[in-house]
Copies of this chain bind each other. A is one copy, B any other.
Amino acid sequence: MSTRKTGASQRKPNASRVQLEARIISAAEKAFALTGYSGTAMETIAEAVGISKQNLIYYFPNKETLYRRVLRKTLDMWLEKMAFTEDPDASATDIITHYIRGKLELSYENPDGSRVFAHELINGAPVLKDYLISHLKPQFEKDVALVRQWTSAGVLRDVSPEHLFFTIWAATQTYADFATQIQLLLGKKKLQKKDFEDAALFLTDMVLHGIVANSP
């Protein structure tokens, strides 16, 4: 009874388990984004949340579990928006424009998720490999086929659909992953929405002019 809680860690009085877990995942994402899996200590994450390491382990029994949850959260977000083939009536330019903007929005809204993903990929995707094969690849092949159709129909010039996707992905993710470099070169402290808007304008413009047949 006399043992008072030193106000060191201010718990939210009504923080439910789910809410706390969300806070943990968010903090973990930030940490993994910065230093990758092996470079991130459980204690660092716990500190960021304001709980003890052992308490963190109570919620996520080990580091890998937490890491997988973080990855899954990002991937779920991505799958939601990364769909390419959606509206069969939309034009190729509309779909591509929408796709580029969607990916850029993700980089803007969830840069840390993008960075965790980048770490994982550079690492050789030890955790994500299976997912990439089972989920990303089929989607990719479907989208590639659609681009090929556009080319057959004379809407697009004859370009490699695969490399088109690689380029769009790279160009959109770079604003999250390499934000430091871009900020520095643009002379800004932090990338603003405006910068992402500029990027979207440039990218859609160049890509469409670059691949659409008979473009002015």
Chain A contacts to B: CB under 8 angstroms: 33-39, 115, 118-119, 121-125, 129, 132-133, 136-137, 140, 157, 159-160, 162-164, 166-167, 169-171, 173-175, 177-178, 180-182, 184-186, 198-199, 201-203, 205-211, 215
Most buried by B among A33, A121, A163, A206: A163
CB contact between A37 and one of B39, B163, B185, B203 (< 8 Å): that residue: B39
21 contacts between A and B (CB under 8 A): A33-B122, A35-B123, A37-B39, A39-B39, A122-B180, A132-B185, A133-B184, A136-B181, A140-B185, A157-B209, A163-B203, A164-B202, A164-B206, A166-B171, A167-B174, A167-B202, A170-B173, A171-B171, A209-B211, A210-B210, A210-B211
Question: Are A170 and B163 in contact (CB-based, < 8 A)?
Answer: no
For A140, give the chain B residue with the smallest CB separation: B185
Question: Are A166 and B160 in contact (CB-based, < 8 A)?
Answer: no
The 8 A-B pairs at the shortest CB distance, nearest first, are namely A210-B210, A38-B39, A170-B174, A206-B210, A163-B202, A170-B170, A39-B39, A167-B171
User: Given the complex, which residues of B lie within 8 Å of A210, measured CB to CB?
Assistant: 205-211
A37 to B34, CA, bound (A): 11
- Return A19 CB to nearest CB of chain B, in Å: 28
A140 to B104, CA, bound (A): 23
For A144, give the chain B residue with the smallest CB separation: B185
- Return A33 CB to nearest CB of chain B, in Å: 7
- Return A193 CB to nearest CB of chain B, in Å: 15
User: Given the complex, which residues of B lie within 8 Å of A206, measured CB to CB?
Assistant: 159, 164, 167, 206-207, 210-211
**Besides A125-B180, A167-B202, 18 other A-B contacts (C-beta < 8 A):** A34-B123, A34-B124, A38-B38, A118-B178, A119-B122, A121-B180, A125-B181, A136-B185, A159-B205, A160-B202, A163-B202, A166-B175, A166-B199, A167-B171, A170-B171, A206-B206, A206-B207, A210-B210
A133 to B136, CA, bound (A): 37
